């Protein structure tokens, strides 16, 4: 199934996509410091709505034809600075400061986990998500394969960072290499993986 950049969609469709992606992140360990799954659900959905809107407006959100699978890919040579600044302002006004501080504390502790590759031009995987009703159909593999092909075409490594051990194992199964992991003081581990096409010998 073809995957392409998501653009020029209605506000209603974007809202639906934001909710689908948000729901998939409620259990993500990235938000461990925000309380139990039920305690953090509304805040995670609010955060992911802001985040997905930023990725979409930056032109970095891709999806399959049925818009049941999504991947965010950033080319660090062209950072979406304006969209990120807008995202930060929205976070300040729409999320409790205490939760923002906890998230920033965690991010600060694990932000150097991908330093081996992040200093040079590369692609960043911002998110990978499949609608719950369509999981187990190979869509996630198609999304990762699409990202890998973009990496091949651009001649840049692509970085996958996740706080979920199961996801790290899936990415490894799909051809990525785990090259580092950092554990924060809340016992959550950031797994850093890379995919890079082997040079022709």
Go through the chain and tell me how many residues it has: 201
pLDDT 10s digits, 10-27: 999 999 999 999 999 999
Q: Is the pLDDT of residue 138 over 60?
A: yes
At residue 1, the pLDDT reads 66
pLDDT attached to residue 26: 96
pLDDT at residue 45 in the model: 97
| Residues β-bridged to residue 128 | 71
Which residue in 33, 77, 27, 71 sits closest to 52, CA to CA?
A: 71
Torsion of CA 149, 150, 154, 159, to 10 degrees: -100
Task: Express each pLDDT in 16-72 by its tens digit.
Answer: 999 999 999 999 999 999 999 999 999 999 999 999 999 999 999 999 999 999 999
For 117-127, the pLDDT digits (tens) are 989 999 999 99
How much is the pLDDT for 201? 46
**Which pLDDT belongs to residue 80?**
87
pLDDT at 162: 96
3-state helix, strand, coil in the chain (%, to 5): 50, 20, 30
pLDDT of amino acid 200 = 59
Confidence of residue 79 (pLDDT cuts 50, 70, 90): confident
Compute φ and ψ for 166, nearest 5 degrees: -60, -40
pLDDT for the residue 197: 86
CA dist 129 and 139 (Å) reads 9
Q: Among positive and negative, which fits the CA dihedral 128, 131, 134, 135?
A: positive
In this structure, are residues 127 and 70 in contact, taking their beta carbons and an 8 Å threshold? yes
CA dist., res. 52 & res. 103, Å (int): 17
Report domain 3-195's class.
alpha beta
Q: What pLDDT is recorded for position 141? A: 96
Q: What percent of the chain has pLDDT over 70?
A: 98
**Is 80 exceeded by the pLDDT of residue 199?**
no
Tokens coding 29 = 């360990």
What's the chain's average pLDDT? Answer: 94
Judged by phi (left if over 0) then psi (alpha if -120 to 50, else beta), residue 177 lies in beta
What is the predicted pLDDT for the residue at 81?
A: 87
Domain boundaries, the chain: 3-195
Q: Assign 112 a pLDDT band (cuts: 50, 70, 90).
A: confident
φ, ψ (nearest 5 deg) of residue 186: -95, 10
Tell me if 5 sits within 8 A of 59, measured CB to CB. Answer: yes
Give the sheet arrangement for strand 177-183, strand by strand: 3-5, 61-64, 69-75, 123-130, 158-162, 189-195, 177-183
Residue 146 in this model has a pLDDT that exceeds 90: yes
């Amino acid at each position: 199934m073809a995957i392409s950049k998501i653009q020029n969609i209605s506000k209603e469709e974007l809202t639906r996509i934001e909710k689908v992606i948000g729901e998939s992140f409620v259990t993500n360990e990235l938000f461990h410091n925000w309380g139990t799954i039920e305690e953090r659900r509304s805040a995670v959905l609010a955060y992911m709505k802001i985040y997905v809107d930023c990725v979409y407006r930056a032109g970095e959100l891709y999806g399959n034809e049925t818009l049941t699978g999504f991947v965010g890919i950033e080319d660090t040579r062209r950072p979406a600075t304006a969209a990120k600044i807008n995202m930060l302002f929205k976070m300040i006004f729409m999320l409790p400061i205490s939760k923002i501080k906890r998230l920033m504390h965690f991010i600060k502790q694990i932000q150097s986990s991908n330093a081996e590759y992040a200093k040079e031009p590369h692609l960043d995987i911002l998110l990978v998500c499949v609608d719950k009703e369509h999981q187990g159909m190979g869509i996630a593999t198609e999304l990762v394969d699409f990202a890998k092909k973009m990496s091949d075409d651009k001649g840049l490594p692509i970085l996958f960072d996740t706080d979920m051990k199961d996801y790290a194992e899936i990415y490894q199964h799909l051809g990525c290499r785990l090259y580092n992991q950092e554990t924060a003081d809340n016992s959550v581990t950031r797994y850093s993986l890379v995919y890079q096409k082997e040079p022709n010998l």
